[in-house]
Amino acid sequence: MLRQLRLALQTGIVAEPAPRTSELERVGERLRTDILRRFGRSLHIRQVDAGSCNGCELEITGLTGPHWDLERFGLHFVASPRHADCLLVTGPVTRNMAEALRRTWDATPDPKFVIAVGDCGRDGGIFRDAYAVVGGVERVVPVDAVIPGCPPSPAALLAGLLDAIGRLG
């Protein structure tokens, strides 16, 4: 326990302290002011896996780690759609997940918006027209923004969030 604490204190903050001018910080700053205006500087995100290969999930998980540290911008991942302002949907929406996704959307309180993540979420990607998928998130719930990529990088995910919040207002 003591060794771990010493390590924590010696390591300090690794959340990229320097790159104020980098793409991440610029996007993050604009994101923060936009969230400030529209959601009172607090945006809770519910991630929905609608049949994804988990490539997008890996990148999304990266956002919460010490390097990207999403929480410093006032964003936060929550455990229930009832707590969420934003649904981050990945995957080509398999037939089995279509109803679950629709219900998740119904369970999210207004105001809310949906972001489709990855090429699969956009139009089904390489799974498009396969018999097991509905294909694209917007066939099931209204999509406000799309973040393309296979998978999109964490920086692209932050930029996509900005886009969505900008359009909502």
Partner 1 sequence: MIAGAALGLLQVFVVAAGAPLLVGVLRTLKARLVGRRGPSPWQPYADLRKLLGKDAVVSETTSWIFRVTPYVLTASMLVTALVIPVLVTRPPLGFAGNIVLLMYLFLLGTFFLALAGLDAGSAFGGMGSSREVAVAALAEPTVILAVFALALRAGTINLGGVVERVEAEPWLAVNPAHLLAFAAFFIVMLAETGRLPVDNPATHLELTMIHEAMVLEYSGRYLALVEWAAAMKLFLFLTLLANLFFPWGVTHLAEPVPVALGLLALVGKLAVLTTLLALVETSVAKLRLFRVPELLAGSFALAILSVMAVFLLR
Cβ-based neighbours of 9, under 8 Å, separated by 6 or more:
none
Interface segment toward partner 1; rule CB under 8 A; list 82-90, 124-132, 144-152, 154-162 = 82-90
Cβ-based neighbours of 17, under 8 Å, separated by 6 or more:
none
Measured from the CB atom, is 74 or 148 closer to partner 1? 74
The reply to whether 41 sits near partner 1 by the rule CB under 8 A is yes
Q: Which helix (H) or strand (E) holds 70?
A: none
Rg (C-alpha) for the chain, rounded Å, is 17
The reply to whether 8 sits near partner 1 by the rule CB under 8 A is yes
The reply to whether 83 sits near partner 1 by the rule CB under 8 A is yes
The answer to whether the beta carbons of residues 114 and 143 sit under 8 Å apart is yes
Q: Give the x-and-dash track for 57-76 against partner 1 (CB under 8 A).
A: --------xx--x-xx-x-x
The reply to whether 103 sits near partner 1 by the rule CB under 8 A is no
Closest C-alpha among 99, 80, 91 to residue 140:
99
- Distance CA(115)–CA(168), nearest Å, equals 11
The reply to whether 42 sits near partner 1 by the rule CB under 8 A is yes
Give me the least distance between CB of 120 and partner 1, in Å please: 22
Binding stretches for partner 1 (CB under 8 A)? 1-2, 4-5, 8-9, 11-15, 17, 39-42, 44, 65-66, 69, 71-72, 74, 76-80, 82-83, 85, 106-111
